Amino acid sequence: MTTATSELLTTGDAARLIGVSADAVRLWERDGRLPATRTQSGVRLFIREDVEAFAQRRREKAEGEG
């Protein structure tokens, strides 16, 4: 899906969706684990589908460790 048809989330929105801090989301973006685009002013924007898929992988990993 392209960003033109996808909902874009801010860092805070992505953090709330995943259930973590905004700092964690920034770290994952810097590490390349969670893709984001940037506005001209440098604001990170995340595609909702990417964030949901990332959250699902985290849940599956946590369930596998428990």
Q: φ and ψ at 2, to 5 degrees?
A: -95, 160
Average pLDDT over residues 8-21: 98
Average pLDDT over residues 25-40: 97
The pLDDT confidence band at residue 2, using thresholds 50, 70 and 90, is low
Nearest to 43 by CA among 4, 18, 14, 1: 14
The pLDDT, as a whole number, for residue 21 is 98
From residue 55, give the alpha-carbon distance in Å to each of 5, 39, 42.
21, 23, 24
The domains located in the chain, with CATH, are 8-65 (1.10.1660.10)
Give the rounded percent of residues in the chain with a pLDDT score beyond 90.
85
